[in-house]
Structure 1
């Protein structure tokens, strides 16, 4: 299992920083101890500090699957702080998401707003007309393009869309 250790405050403030948090660095520094008893005492203290920091919410441990899920959940938003999930292996490029419609409705401007599984909400931002109204259970595919996003609903032609939630 691959894991990341993040600090809630510093990770948000410095998303591109490669520096380790102090509590995690203290654990890593223990491997430099040569005397066995000193090394064990160092590890015990560092693990205890790490455990306390995690319980208080000062750090968060995230495995690769959780990082992938976070990137997928944020698809459609520009969030530079997600770079903290890109350490280690090169992350897969997420250029499209296929999911299911939970709710869809048209506004007074005849444009569709679509709520998807997982809580994402996408709004149509062009004036194209759909042949069939999307309904709960409809398949939605949203893909990233050079100038925005396109949404296909039940295999119909794509409409331009933007994520609103």
Structure 2
């Protein structure tokens, strides 16, 4: 048996997102039906009925989450996902992720170099510790210490482009691969 506090904690502290094929507008503007069922249990005044309702609703939500029909994410996971996706040309986060607050814009990331290699055309490809790969898109010469652990900063630049800076180097225009 699941305690009613568990159900309230799930509803209050986590966001649930349905991935079971609901229409896009519904998924971004309404709560999933399973979460609504859980919240509606609060309206029951008789303790036994309310507890039974919470037990059924939390079991259904838990089962749906285990089967991948509902995905539960917290703000920290959303923030980490934004960091991992930095540099990809994606639409803004859907409203279910930013509900009640403005979307934080990530303007730069800092990480370290794992490996850099130069292609035949003289342009570089950079593999970074955060798992991302970036390719040089300008034709300028790059001067940096090509060794693992070198500090790297990538920032947004004009017109949707990005610039990578190594300690003491000029900015290199790059694109996320």
- TM-score when normalising by structure 1: 0.88
- 1:11–1:81: 8 Å Cα contact kept in structure 2? no
Between the aligned partners of 2:47 and 2:110, the Cα distance in structure 1 is: 53
Q: Distance in 1 between matches of 2:26 and 2:164?
A: 30
Is 1:49 the counterpart of 2:65? The answer is: no
Q: Distance in 2 between matches of 1:18 and 1:157?
A: 44
Q: Offset of 1:127 from its aligned partner?
A: 0.3
From the two aligned structures, give the one with the greater strand fraction: 1
* 1:9/1:33 CA distance change after superposition, 3 Å: same
Do structure 1's residue 152 and structure 2's residue 165 form an aligned pair? Answer: yes
Q: How many residue pairs are counted as aligned between the two chains?
A: 164
Establish whether residue 87 from structure 1 lines up as the match of residue 99 from structure 2.
yes
* CA 1:29–1:81: 2 relative to 1, 3 Å: farther
Q: Please give the secondary structure, in 2, of the residue aligned with 1:80.
A: coil
1:72 correspondence with 2:83: yes
Partners of 1:98 and 1:141 within 8 A in 2: yes
TM-score of the pair, normalised by structure 2: 0.82
Unaligned runs of 5+ in 1: none
1:8 is aligned to: 19
Looking at structure 1, the residues matched to 21 and 30 of structure 2 have their Cα atoms a distance apart, in angstroms, of: 10
Task: Pick the aligned partner of 1:38 from 49, 56, 65.
Answer: 49
Matched residue, 1:132: 144
1:9 is displaced (CA, Å) by 4.1
Does the 8 A contact of 1:143 with 1:149 survive in 2? yes
Alpha-carbon shift at residue 38 of structure 1 (Å):
1.9
